[in-house]
């Protein structure tokens, strides 16, 4: 894959001025975050400092995001249930795997508050509640999502 360094864009995370772009990325068909086929195009870059993979935000990106989220349907292929990942051959909800990894690698208290930005239909919060039932969820909308 061809690439080049771009000096007039900044990393979204660390504000590093030098990022590496992959121009042949725009030749590939894409998939949206709700698992729908998406047209070719866009830009994909890698920050040379913090190594975050990222897109450049421009008018085309904003237009794509508006279209994608206008008709967004989370987990539509599984009837609203999150996808499974396979651990040692057994299916496990993706959010459970993430929560276990966080709890095994960081000191997470038994009580606290959590906010999931971009929570979809609340799968992560529902699963988190089963593992840390004494956490409270500060926004009523998330509590509603958890009750489903
Ligand atoms: Zn960076």
pTM here? Answer: 0.61
How far is ligand 1, taken at its centre, from the CA of residue 11, in Å?
5
pLDDT digits (tens, 9 = 90+) for 74-125: 888 888 788 889 988 999 988 999 999 999 999 999 998 888 877 778 888 8
- Rounded Cα–Cα distance for residues 29 and 73 (Å): 20
> How far away, in angstroms, is 146 Cα from ligand 1 center?
34
44 Cα to the center of ligand 1, angstroms: 13
For residue 139, name the pLDDT band (cuts at 50, 70, 90): low
* Exposure class string for 28-56: b at 16+ Cβ within 10 A, else e: eeeebeeeeeeeeebbbbbbeeeeeebeb
pLDDT at 55 over 60: yes
Of 81, 109, 111, which Cα lies nearest the Cα of 96? 81
Q: Where are the alpha helices (DSSP H) in 26-93?
A: 59-70
Share of the chain above pLDDT 90, in %: 34
Residue 14 CA, ligand 1 centroid: distance in Å:
4
Task: State the distance from the centre of ligand 1 to the C-alpha of 24, rounded, in angstroms.
Answer: 21
Q: Which of 73, 96, 74, 72 is nearest to 84 (CA)?
A: 96
């Amino acid at each position: 894959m061809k690439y080049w360094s771009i000096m007039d864009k900044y990393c979204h995370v660390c504000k590093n001025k030098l990022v590496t772009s992959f121009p042949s990325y725009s030749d590939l068909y894409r998939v949206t975050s709700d698992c729908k086929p998406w047209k070719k195009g866009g830009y994909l870059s890698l920050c040379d400092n913090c190594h975050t993979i990222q897109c450049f935000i421009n008018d085309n990106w904003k237009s794509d995001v508006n279209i994608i989220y206008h008709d967004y349907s989370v987990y539509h292929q599984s009837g609203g249930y999150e996808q499974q990942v396979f651990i040692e051959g057994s299916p496990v909800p993706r959010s459970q795997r993430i929560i276990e990894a966080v709890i095994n690698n960081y000191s997470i208290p038994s009580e606290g508050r959590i906010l999931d930005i971009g929570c979809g239909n609340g799968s992560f919060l529902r699963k988190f509640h089963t593992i840390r039932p004494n956490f409270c969820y500060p926004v009523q909308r998330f509590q509603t999502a958890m009750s489903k």
